[in-house]
């Protein structure tokens, strides 16, 4: 079912169409002012024009008066039964519901696009719309063919992947229950100047090479293992392989890619599986025309040339394939190509992905240690997006796409949705307009197909260019004075005869006829651009184009131009007004409604700093510039957006850490420096705190060439925090020290106090001795003892003696 956003878009487009029709009804009536003298010519003027085939309609008026808006014809007395007014229509022929799972008993009937077949009946100039839905189903079968460069520089990589099959099958088993793996290898054409051709190198190209003296003869492409679910066989075959050697740096990898794509039976690609071709190399490829260096003048024919030994037999007979041929064959066979290349080659292969639909690029470690993570990332990247492609697009059809992705917002001009989860469903609204009528009997068909999917929408096109009344044409009809053909209410006279009933001959004139050739009283006869003959204007021929109309008032060359081109080349000139093709608007049709050119690398419209006008960004944020307003050193969010690029490019961290996202969104020139200069004119200093509490500094400026320059410190500035143990020791030591100091101070105070007291005691004691020695009043104490005997009691006094 269509979403609310899709219906709103339909309503908006209908309003636009009505706005293009109604002004014509109020002002210039393009139907009546056209040059139509037959029903078919009337239908070509504008999709809103209708023709009245009623015999007695419009007598006494110009012949073109039969061509008018249908509502006007009814008002003027034309019976509805005689009005020829075909309209565009859509008929859904096959509409099987989308599947939810890819494996199991229903894997051969998996449906990922809906509908599957429709037929369109199109009237020229009339836009019509249809909707389609696409879903990446869960647990979809996967065929993965690993194509490896076996030139000498890849020896360490070969050693790394000898047990790749088991590990890869284990990881892929988490994503799909139906996985098959195949293997092939390549080097280069075994001919001069691409390889060593001296006799001593024929059996061993590494002869005399000290670092690695033995290797196998040079070969172009060798298919080693067809796709199989027995991953142990992959390990066995890889362990048997040996590297070879070629002469020049570029490899013959594109020969190998083409053979892996077109030799479907030998490779074993399944129709009902996702096809993933992983291309691992550490150097650039040879391209088309390189083969002429070796005398190969025949271009590649795009066919399979594997012999009985599964080797590429035409390697020394045909040139290398072109990028266009490569892209065509990959798309024909629904193959996603993933370039697994070393870091120094990333930019080169990234440019290839822009020319070959359905390709991605990932950075491969020097020894291929990250190959499994790379393949998983490539698979997730492929399964996270849906992009539509059009096959056999008829030249006279205009197609315009509007994508409605997971957020539910219509995105005009886009045919791609990204950041999807497996199982998500996205929809696309397709606008179709026929610009002209093809020759009779032409069978026009085209196909809309998600890149890399086997599923497709087949569209058959029929053109509403003929009037039903033409089937009843009468030759030499008495209505036409027996010298003309009566067709759809008008007479088509024999040469030399004119008039509504072929009643006049060329050259006859009269005042009555002349008055009928003036648009209004006082105006020139036939607008000064024709002659009046038998009540009709015969318009002059012009070297600039066609002059037409009842009074020769119209032409097809007096419309607005853009850069000297009539209607900008995107419309048709009709009586002074440009009738724009689908996807263009404006007085001179120079304004494109496509918005794909306004989408920045981060997926935002004009980087969120402007609006898309005529297919180009108009920046609203002060200081913002660039094709998608992506450059803005003075914007508040400038440092924040550039910070993510610093994190992923220099430290492989942050939100954009995966290779595909980082390289796609971060194209700025980053200069690592030891010391940051902050006094450069026009440079903005940015700082942010890292996860480990360090401070990262960089400057952001725009070069005169238009490239963004980021100068960043090689390493964040980190202020080391105190060691916890040292802090503890310091605190405890401080407490002890303070305690000892306090104890010492207390001891000192006590000692001083004691000494003072002792001194005071000594002084008092000395004074006491002096007093006893020198005081004349002092007498020693006298002790008296009483002794009782039997005879008497004596009193004895002792003072040193008896007294």
What residue segments make up the domains of the chain, in order of their start?
30-86, 89-138+387-463, 142-383, 561-592, 594-634, 636-713
33 pLDDT exceeds 50?
Answer: yes
Helix or strand run (H / E) with residue 44: helix 39-45
The DSSP annotation for 204-269 comes to -TTTT-SS----PPP-SEEEEEEEES-HHHHHHHHHH---B--SSSSB-HHHHHHHHHH-HHHHT-
Asked which of 2-6, 181-185, 361-365, 549-553 is least confident by mean pLDDT, the reply is 2-6
Q: What is the mean pLDDT of residues 240-245?
A: 90
Strands in 67-69's sheet, in edge-to-edge order, are 67-69, 49-52, 83-84
The residue ranking higher by pLDDT, 618 or 722, is 618
Q: What is the pLDDT of residue 452?
A: 86
Strand pairing report for 457-463 and 117-122: parallel
The DSSP annotation for 478-513 comes to GGGTTSEEEETTEEEEPTTEESTTS-EETT---HHH
Q: Helix or strand or coil: residue 427?
A: strand
- Alpha-carbon distance of 232 to 209, in angstroms, equals 33
Asked which of 252-256, 634-638, 738-742 is least confident by mean pLDDT, the reply is 634-638
Mean residue pLDDT across the chain: 82
Bond prior to 193 in cis (omega within 30° of 0) = yes
For the segment 204-220, what is each residue's pLDDT rounded down to a tens digit?
888 888 778 889 999 99
Q: How does DSSP classify residue 161? A: G
The answer to whether domain 89-138+387-463 has CATH 3.90.440.10 is no
The DSSP annotation for 268-307 comes to T--TTSEEEEEEEESSPBP-TTGGGGGT--SPP-----B-
The CATH number fitting domain 636-713, selected from 4.10.1240.30, 3.40.50.1100, 3.40.190.10, 3.40.50.2300: 4.10.1240.30
Strands in 89-94's sheet, in edge-to-edge order, are 89-94, 117-122, 457-463, 444-450, 386-391, 416-417
Helix or strand run (H / E) with residue 145: strand 142-149
pTM for the model stands at 0.61
Beta strands in 690-792, from DSSP E residues, in sequence order: 695-702, 708-713, 783-788
- Alpha-carbon distance of 535 to 511, in angstroms, equals 10
Q: How does DSSP classify residue 799? A: S
Asked which of 78-87, 140-149, 488-497 is least confident by mean pLDDT, the reply is 488-497
Q: Are 30-86 and 142-383 equal in CATH topology?
A: no
406 pLDDT exceeds 70?
Answer: yes
What percent of the chain clears pLDDT 70, i.e. is strictly above it? 86
Q: What is the pLDDT of residue 94?
A: 95
691 pLDDT exceeds 80?
Answer: no
- Alpha-carbon distance of 583 to 591, in angstroms, equals 8
751 pLDDT exceeds 50?
Answer: yes
803 pLDDT exceeds 60?
Answer: no
Res. 504 pLDDT band, cuts 50 70 90 = confident
- Alpha-carbon distance of 552 to 566, in angstroms, equals 20
The residue whose two tokens read 């000594």 is 762
Burial 103-141 (b: 16+ CB within 10 A, else e): beeebeebbbbbbbebebbbbbbbbbbbbbbbbbbbbbb
The DSSP annotation for 588-603 comes to TS-EE---GGGB-TTS
Residues 6 or more apart from 138 whose CB is under 8 A from it? Answer: 100, 101, 102, 422, 423
Is residue 368 within 8 Å of 426, Cβ to Cβ? Answer: no
Backbone angles phi, psi at 19, to 5 degrees: -70, -25
- How many helices (H) and strands (E) in the chain? 15, 42
- Alpha-carbon distance of 217 to 207, in angstroms, equals 11
Closest by CA to 98, choosing from 40, 130, 137, is: 137
- Alpha-carbon distance of 52 to 84, in angstroms, equals 6
Strand pairing report for 708-713 and 669-673: parallel
Res. 534 pLDDT band, cuts 50 70 90 = confident
Q: Which CATH class is domain 561-592?
A: mainly beta
Is residue 305 within 8 Å of 314, Cβ to Cβ? Answer: yes
237: buried, middle or exposed (CB in 10 Å: 19+, 13-18, 0-12)? middle
239 pLDDT exceeds 70?
Answer: yes
Q: Where are the alpha helices (DSSP H) in 577-668?
A: 638-651, 659-665
Q: What is the pLDDT of residue 614?
A: 86
| Exposure on the CB side of residue 709, measured as CA atoms within 13 A | 15
678 pLDDT exceeds 80?
Answer: no
Beta strands in 423-478, from DSSP E residues, in sequence order: 425-434, 444-450, 457-463
The residue whose two tokens read 């918005």 is 595
For the segment 87-138, what is each residue's pLDDT rounded down to a tens digit?
999 999 999 999 887 665 455 678 999 999 999 999 998 889 999 999 988 8
16 pLDDT exceeds 60?
Answer: no
The answer to whether domain 594-634 has CATH 2.10.25.10 is yes
Is residue 513 within 8 Å of 505, Cβ to Cβ? Answer: no
- Alpha-carbon distance of 343 to 340, in angstroms, equals 10
Res. 628 pLDDT band, cuts 50 70 90 = confident
598 pLDDT exceeds 80?
Answer: yes
Backbone angles phi, psi at 687, to 5 degrees: -135, 145
Residue count (the chain): 803
Bond prior to 217 in cis (omega within 30° of 0) = no
The CA–CA distances, whole Å, from 4 to 9, 133, 404, 418, 594 equal: 9, 15, 11, 21, 22
| Biggest alpha carbon–alpha carbon distance for the chain | 210
Backbone angles phi, psi at 281, to 5 degrees: -155, 165
Helix or strand run (H / E) with residue 159: helix 155-160
- Alpha-carbon distance of 421 to 406, in angstroms, equals 9
37: left (phi > 0), else alpha (psi -120 to 50), else beta? alpha
- Alpha-carbon distance of 614 to 287, in angstroms, equals 37
Is residue 42 within 8 Å of 83, Cβ to Cβ? Answer: no
Asked which of 341-345, 587-591, 599-603, 756-760 is least confident by mean pLDDT, the reply is 599-603
Q: Which CATH superfamily is domain 142-383 in?
A: von Willebrand factor, type A domain (3.40.50.410)
The CA–CA distances, whole Å, from 278 to 223, 275, 611, 791 equal: 14, 10, 39, 148
What's the distance, Cα to Cα, between the start and end of the chain in Å?
150
- Alpha-carbon distance of 553 to 555, in angstroms, equals 7
Is residue 620 within 8 Å of 603, Cβ to Cβ? Answer: no
Q: Count of CB atoms within 10 A of residue 620's CB?
A: 12
CATH topology of domain 30-86: ligand-binding face of the semaphorins, domain 2 (3.30.1680)
For the segment 474-483, what is each residue's pLDDT rounded down to a tens digit?
998 888 888 8
Q: Helix or strand or coil: residue 135?
A: strand
């Amino acid at each position: 079912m269509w979403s609310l956003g899709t219906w709103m878009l339909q309503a908006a487009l209908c309003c636009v169409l009505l706005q293009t029709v109604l002004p014509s009804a109020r002002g210039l009536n393009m139907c009546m002012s056209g040059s139509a003298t037959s029903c078919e010519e009337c239908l070509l003027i504008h999709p809103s024009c209708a023709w009245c085939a009623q015999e007695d309609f419009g007598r006494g008026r110009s012949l073109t008066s039969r061509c008018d808006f249908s509502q006007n014809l009814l008002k003027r007395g034309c019976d509805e039964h005689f009005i020829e007014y075909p309209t565009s229509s859509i008929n859904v022929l096959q509409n099987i519901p989308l599947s939810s799972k890819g494996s199991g008993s229903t894997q051969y009937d998996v449906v990922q696009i809906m509908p599957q077949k429709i037929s369109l009946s199109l009237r020229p100039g009339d836009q019509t719309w249809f909707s389609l839905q696409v879903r990446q189903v869960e647990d979809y079968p996967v065929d993965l063919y690993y194509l490896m460069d076996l030139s000498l520089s890849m020896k360490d990589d070969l050693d790394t992947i000898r047990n790749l099959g088991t590990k890869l099958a284990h990881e892929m088993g988490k994503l799909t229950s139906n996985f098959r793996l195949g293997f092939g290898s390549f080097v280069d054409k075994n001919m001069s100047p691409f390889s060593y051709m001296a006799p001593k190198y024929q059996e061993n190209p590494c002869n005399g090479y000290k670092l690695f003296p033995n290797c196998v003869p040079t070969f172009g492409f060798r298919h080693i293992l067809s796709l199989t679910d027995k991953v142990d066989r992959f390990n066995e075959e890889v362990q048997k392989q040996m590297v070879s050697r070629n002469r020049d740096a570029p490899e013959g990898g594109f020969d190998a890619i083409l053979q892996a794509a077109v030799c479907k039976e030998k490779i074993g690609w399944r129709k009902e599986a996702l096809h993933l071709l992983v291309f691992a190399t550490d150097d650039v490829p040879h391209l088309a025309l390189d083969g002429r260096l070796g005398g190969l003048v025949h271009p590649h024919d795009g066919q399979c040339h594997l012999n009985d030994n599964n080797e590429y037999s035409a390697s020394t007979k045909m040139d290398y394939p072109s990028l266009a041929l490569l892209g065509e064959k990959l798309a024909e066979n629904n193959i996603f190509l993933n370039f697994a290349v070393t870091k120094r080659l990333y930019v080169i292969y990234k440019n290839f992905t822009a020319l070959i639909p359905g390709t991605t690029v990932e950075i491969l470690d020097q020894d291929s240690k990250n190959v499994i993570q790379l393949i998983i990332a490539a698979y997730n990247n492929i399964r996270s997006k849906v992009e539509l492609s059009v096959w056999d697009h008829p030249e006279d059809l205009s197609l315009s796409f509007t994508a409605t992705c997971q957020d539910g917002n219509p995105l005009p001009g886009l045919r791609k949705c990204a950041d999807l989860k497996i199982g998500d469903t996205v929809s696309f609204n397709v606008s179709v307009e026929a610009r002209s009528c093809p020759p009779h009997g032409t069978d026009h068909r085209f196909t809309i197909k998600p890149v890399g999917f086997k599923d497709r929408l087949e569209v058959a096109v029929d053109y509403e260019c003929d009037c039903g009344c033409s089937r009843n044409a009468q030759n030499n009809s008495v209505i036409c004075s027996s010298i003309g053909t009566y067709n759809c209410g008008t007479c088509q006279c024999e040469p030399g005869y004119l008039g509504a009933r072929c009643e006049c001959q060329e050259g006859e004139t009269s005042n009555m006829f002349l008055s009928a050739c003036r648009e209004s009283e006082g105006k020139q006869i036939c607008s000064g651009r024709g002659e009046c003959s038998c009540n009709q204007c015969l318009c002059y021929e012009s070297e600039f184009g066609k002059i037409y109309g009842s009074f020769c008032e119209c032409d097809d060359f007096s419309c607005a131009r853009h850069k000297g081109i009539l209607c900008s080349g995107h419309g048709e000139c009709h009586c002074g007004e440009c009738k724009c093709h689908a996807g263009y608007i404006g007085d001179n049709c120079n304004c494109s409604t496509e918005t794909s050119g306004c989408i920045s690398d981060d997926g935002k419209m004009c980087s969120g700093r402007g609006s898309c006008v005529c297919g180009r960004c108009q920046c609203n944020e002060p200081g913002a510039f660039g094709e998608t307003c992506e450059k803005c050193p003075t914007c508040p969010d400038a440092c924040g957006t550039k910070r993510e690029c610093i994190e992923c490019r220099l430290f492989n961290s942050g939100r954009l850490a995966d290779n595909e996202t980082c390289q796609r969104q971060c194209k700025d020139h980053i200069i690592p420096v030891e010391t940051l200069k902050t006094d450069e004119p026009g440079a903005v200093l940015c700082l942010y705190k890292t996860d480990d509490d360090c401070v990262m500094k960089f400057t952001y400026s725009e070069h005169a060439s238009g490239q963004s320059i980021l100068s960043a410190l090689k390493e964040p500035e980190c202020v080391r925090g105190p060691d916890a143990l040292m802090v503890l020791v310091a605190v405890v030591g401080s407490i002890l020290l303070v305690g000892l100091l306090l104890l010492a101070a207390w001891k000192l105070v006590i000692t001083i106090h004691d000494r003072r007291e002792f001194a005071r005691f000594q002084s008092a004691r000395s004074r006491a001795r002096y007093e006893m020695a020198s005081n004349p009043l002092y007498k020693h104490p006298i002790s008296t003892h009483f002794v009782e005997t039997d005879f008497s009691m004596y009193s004895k006094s002792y003072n040193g003696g008896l007294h």
